[in-house]
Amino acid sequence: MLPDIACYQRLKADFRWAIPQRFNIGVAVADAWASVDPERPAILDLRGGEALETLTFGALAERSNRLASALEALGVQRGDRVAILLPQMSEVVLAHVAIYKLGAVALPLASLFGVDALEYRLADAGVRALITDAPGLAKVRTIRASLPQLEFVISTDGPDVPALGFAQLLERGSPAFVAADTGPDDPAMMIYTSGTTGPPKGALHAHRVLLGHLPGVQFPHEGFPKPGDRFWTPADWAWAGGLLNVLLPSLYFGVSVVARRFDRFDPEAALHLMSRMEVRNAFIPPTALRMLRAIHAAGRRYNVDLRTLASGGESLGAETYAWGREAFGLTINEFYGQTECNLVLASNNAFGVSRAGAIGKAVPGHECDVIRPDGTRCEADEPGQIAVLRPDPVMFLGYWNNAKATEAKFIGDWMTTGDQGRRDADGYVFFFGRDDDVITSSGYRIGPGEIEDCLLRHPAVEIAAAVGKPDAIRGEIVKAFIVPKPGFQPSADLAADIQSFVRTRLSAHEYPREVAFIDRLPLTTSGKVIRRELRARG
């Protein structure tokens, strides 16, 4: 945890990691609070969007013990992979905590995955048990025959061939389960990440990953936790952003987390939820924030009273940064990380670490920089690759069954991210985009974030995304996909006006040479642009 020092330079200089010799995530996020305040709300679950169910820390500790005991009775052992295919709901938390207590490895999977994505991950990880719901079970039935290692399927919607019932398992389990005596370097979870090349890779993390995340949550959320804090994110808990930036750290600190299932991000529903549930802390990805920006006086209209708002995963941009102050009366604190090594750069306006367009600076406890291909540090404002120095408690153990890919991830002791950026003279890091998102046109490397930020300033643009389109002469050209504001009709004249707008404000090599108008952008459930779908449209 961060010491109570309200000065970034002193905080960074004085911070020291204190990783215990024995640590178990499940015990830390459930039992520790259950022993002192069992009625304290852990999860506020909006079932069906309206009905509210509360899971207390006492119930979380007892039910996770029962589930761990029941899984053990089925034969699930320490080190076995147990997959969780569920939307945001209390059962996700019970499953995670039980798996950690058992000493097994949790494998969170996003509900939006299709059968091919599920089959690959379940097979590659050698998953022995899967906890899902009726929609997930329907997908798994079609691929079960190709997954010989998958022995048990458990459904939160009750027993249904070939699934066992989740509630029935809890009844059979013992509340007196004794958690595995795990060390900080013992495997705890695996999250699949898609790189720029090859199939998805399983990033294996140890129990220490939660401890490694604590400063990275406290820093952008300005002294989290404080009295009255309550956390929510639209990000799926199957992703590192939802699981490790919000859910597990909040529970570690005894802060209630709001759960709500969204098929896709709905800005009006998000504002209503934050108002109704008195959310004080939120992590909302940049594209979702831009969708909120389209709603006039969003914060005041819905009586949203946030204490902190953080964003990451894509470039936030100066336009959305400025809007945050107007809409919510606070500064959006941007942060950065990736599945393999998350939450290592961040902003904190309360400490004066905040600059429009920048991710922020290294979170205390982490050594980050922008490096050249040979591993040397870049000079100020020299573009390069964002990297993190090992050892670091938030860093992954390695890719599952892929030592070659793990080795390729490092240049010396620098863990490379595949993300392009620069560091200015004051130590702020600016993010251009992922290697596969960066557009290479006529020899220039162009980050989509700056173009999208400029597009948002045009009066006809509600939301936009920029991608590279193959071009025989330039290698790639910039293509913009635009959702127009109400009252503006797509036309060649409007496209030309938008192109001229960007060209005069950025440069001739950055303006979109093609503009396509669409009804809505393809987004993940957490409101992040699915750029590969836009690139596939050509």
The H or E element containing residue 249 is: helix 248-252
Which pLDDT value is given to residue 346?
97
Is the CATH number 3.30.70.2700 carried by domain 437-537? Answer: no
Please work out, in degrees rounded to the nearest 5, the angle formed at the alpha carbon of residue 66 by the alpha carbons of 64 and 68: 65
Determine the pLDDT at residue 531. 86
Cα-Cα-Cα-Cα torsion 523, 526, 528, 529, nearest 10 degrees, comes to -10
Sites in the chain below the pLDDT cut of 50:
195-197
Find residue 56's DSSP bridge partners: 41
Write down the CATH number for the domain with range 1-22+208-376+422-433: 3.40.50.12780
pLDDT at res. 196: 42
Sequence spans of domains, the chain: 1-22+208-376+422-433, 437-537
**Predicted local confidence at residue 435, as pLDDT:** 67
Dist CA 334 CA 309 (whole Å): 9
Tens-place pLDDT, residues 314-351: 778 888 899 999 899 999 999 999 899 999 999 999 99
Rounded to a whole number of angstroms, the distance between the first and last alpha carbons of the chain is 47
